[in-house]
Structure 1
């Protein structure tokens, strides 16, 4: 049975008795006496001419072993539809022909019509199969040599721990929102398991999840952001048939910014009673910060650093990596150009990751006095140590001149705060407190934003503007006072 698009036929493996030649489609057992095909003998097959190879050689598509005539016609129709996708373009005809030929040689199903249409429509080689998600994510990260090391480590962690285990074996062009949502559902199931085991009364059950983290919503958003960034580059790539960034369509609950809460007297009483910490980001009142700094004076090698962070809001890595070369005490200014980033326990020295992070901050008279006194003390220790002094050129050093590890600074901060009897905050909370203090003192939000290294004043104002209740109360009373005067008569 033939048509202008090929032919369908039936054949078997029987051979001539005398010569041993294959009978193929000539076997008399293929049909019954009435001429109808015998369903119990032979297999169906199809055949069609393919476009010539790139060298101009003729070739054909032929597949045998099909179970029915309908299946053979259906396969032949599929083949015809694939070839029609080329729309007479010789180069594309060769590509489709190569695809079909490769599938037939390896006994694989014919290529999916929609996938080939998508590749041709995207202008990519139809023969090139898109990579798996895991392969693409690695290629994508390796192709970004200029990433800050901290950002690279964050991306690598998301890829290695979550994206590859859950999505790595999905082909890039077949990735769907449901795959990504299933990943987050699995992460949440693991969270529930960890929390339940932590609350178990069985020590062995508790031990089974020791060291396992709960993946909070903010981390899920960062994981999605990593995938979204990688898929954006895939969409832009001329060699990939990816037209939609699936990560942008994945549903996650909104993740509101965590605004700092101040340790008011009521909150401190509750904490002292049962250990309740009312928020994820806590800051001290000015009085509590003064108590901390007074207590920190006992720790000569750390106090100047904590003072600078508390007053000017430096990030931990910026303070740890600050060189004297960028500290101008005569001018009362510090240039923030360097930071020490902690990756696991390893550290690297880099520039702040954003343009806003590279900034100049202005020092107050008290802070200049603290730093001058510290510089004199440090020089005395350097001279006493002689050749044993590590010439790092850093502002804040240990007793031998070597730089502080960021993790050690955080540990000392928590230790000193606890010894001072203060409610808990993180070292980063000291930076939050500096921002809140500056705004509460009436400093223009643009100045505060610039000195903190924020990209926008909106972020600064939205995060810190109403931290201290007494400031908000004063504003409310000032507003109400405008209405307390005698009413004005009209007419």
Structure 2
């Protein structure tokens, strides 16, 4: 049906087609596709089916089950489910196709509502054969993938705007192209690619991009969880062959699950930004996952005692007390004088590993007691070094130095000058502040390995190199430094991240607050 103007999308367009079923088909002025759309869709009515089987053949009776109707031929309300069979517009090749939902409806009204929605969708095409075919494709795909028909208003808006109804790429097609052009550094690209090939494509690859919904994301999360359980079961199998089959494989942790969702959210946002899809919310943004961020735990003396006795480590993120940190830096000053200044900067000012290694000589202003973080060094595939900008816009920052750190870096610069004079013409010009005694840049992996060895040989309770950064934040907050200042020192994009990460370790502040409350309560009692 079309409006008087011939516009199938007019405001008065009715979902009910003015066709008398059973009358001879009108042959003049109506295309075959339009004639089909009217008669076949208007003739669809709900009926009942069941899962009973023929006792002789074992085949499903479906619509032929005698229990579906009562003696008066009316439908039996106590047996079967409601269903319908809908003749869809022919395919692009002219082939006939039908829509028969694989699951039934509890109520007849639900089946009728879906038929009415199909009528309205097909009526939007009017006499346009191409639109009829495309809407048929949408109905067929939507019912198969999502279990529901396409949204009528979304289809109407696409037709009005001239946007394509079909042809949205599957997730496999889109992500395969997207990973090649997304503007990120190489390390991030490798992480995205891993998420895509290991998790997203195997589970959601066949889903059209514009039909991705939150329930697909939940399916992805459940699949990852199921894989973990299967992996752990095989690890604990009494069969050695089964255990060998999963050797070297690790479960996917909560943090990785959250990052996989973030990768999908980024990819979907880019698809919306570039007009590949339109009119749909980002399903990955609608799904909330538990925050996997582990908060730092302080190596209090009692925890150190237990670790020394049993080897137990309380959590994945540990930080040293002020005394432990001071002891460690005293140890590294003697055991690793070439690495000590960098570790000192990381421990007290909270720079990231790549930021410290990539600190430019031109950005060290010791007279002003500050350094500029504008560069970092990371590794490419195969361990090759790569210089790049800091992690985020907030990562570009000036870090103010304390007097002790200024003294350590000043002494290091003097020592570095002696190294350079000894090397003569062989000294490389890297432009970096922290270098090895031969003038070459530090490799990030080498710094991490040296750090671990120093902890082990010095007998210190274990922490990760990145935990020096957590320790720097803890020290600053314990000293009463405003959280916004600490956030800027660390290069966090918001204070929320700083607060959520470190609120559990600022013990002195909690004690001070408790003391203040006790004093106020005592004053109230005295009054």
Q: TM-score higher than 0.5 here? A: yes
5+ long unaligned stretches in structure 1: 9-45, 51-59, 67-76, 104-108
1:341 and 2:378 are equivalent in the alignment: yes
Using the TM superposition, give the Cα deviation of residue 131 of structure 1 relative to its aligned residue in structure 2, in angstroms.
0.7
With normalisation by structure 1, the TM-score equals 0.75
- 1:442 equivalent in structure 2: 480
Using the TM superposition, give the Cα deviation of residue 432 of structure 1 relative to its aligned residue in structure 2, in angstroms.
0.6
Superposition RMSD in Å: 3.7
1:365 and 2:403 are equivalent in the alignment: yes
Structure of greater Rg: 1
1:278 and 2:314 are equivalent in the alignment: yes
Provide closer, same or farther for how the CA distance between residues 239 and 367 of structure 1 changes in structure 2, counting only shifts above 3 A: closer
1:106-145 equivalent positions in 2, closer than 5 A: 114=149, 118-119=154-155, 121-122=157-158, 123-126=161-164, 128-145=166-183
Using the TM superposition, give the Cα deviation of residue 394 of structure 1 relative to its aligned residue in structure 2, in angstroms.
1.3
Provide closer, same or farther for how the CA distance between residues 256 and 211 of structure 1 changes in structure 2, counting only shifts above 3 A: closer
Comparing 425-434 and 395-404, the one that deviates more: 395-404
- 2:304 equivalent in structure 1: 268
Using the TM superposition, give the Cα deviation of residue 233 of structure 1 relative to its aligned residue in structure 2, in angstroms.
3.4
Comparing 393-402 and 305-314, the one that deviates more: 393-402
- 1:244 equivalent in structure 2: 281
Correspondent of 2:123 among 71, 77, 84: 84
Using the TM superposition, give the Cα deviation of residue 127 of structure 1 relative to its aligned residue in structure 2, in angstroms.
6.2
Partners of 2:258 and 2:292 within 8 A in 1: no
Provide closer, same or farther for how the CA distance between residues 198 and 306 of structure 1 changes in structure 2, counting only shifts above 3 A: farther
- 2:423 equivalent in structure 1: 385
Q: Distance in 1 between matches of 2:125 and 2:229?
A: 52
5+ long unaligned stretches in structure 2: 1-22, 27-33, 40-86, 99-115, 144-148
Using the TM superposition, give the Cα deviation of residue 155 of structure 1 relative to its aligned residue in structure 2, in angstroms.
2.2
- 2:458 equivalent in structure 1: 420
Q: Distance in 2 between matches of 1:446 and 1:62?
A: 66
| Alignment coverage as a number of residue pairs | 421
Q: Distance in 2 between matches of 1:461 and 1:140?
A: 34
Q: Distance in 2 between matches of 1:433 and 1:415?
A: 19
Q: Distance in 2 between matches of 1:410 and 1:64?
A: 65
Correspondent of 1:453 among 491, 502, 506: 491
Q: Distance in 2 between matches of 1:459 and 1:291?
A: 29
Provide closer, same or farther for how the CA distance between residues 320 and 206 of structure 1 changes in structure 2, counting only shifts above 3 A: farther
Partners of 1:291 and 1:420 within 8 A in 2: no
Correspondent of 1:3 among 25, 36, 59: 25
Q: Distance in 2 between matches of 1:355 and 1:78?
A: 48
Partners of 2:295 and 2:504 within 8 A in 1: no
Q: Distance in 1 between matches of 2:212 and 2:523?
A: 67
1:288-327 equivalent positions in 2, closer than 5 A: 288-297=324-333, 298-327=335-364
Provide closer, same or farther for how the CA distance between residues 244 and 201 of structure 1 changes in structure 2, counting only shifts above 3 A: same
With normalisation by structure 2, the TM-score equals 0.70
Q: Distance in 2 between matches of 1:209 and 1:393?
A: 46
Using the TM superposition, give the Cα deviation of residue 279 of structure 1 relative to its aligned residue in structure 2, in angstroms.
1.6
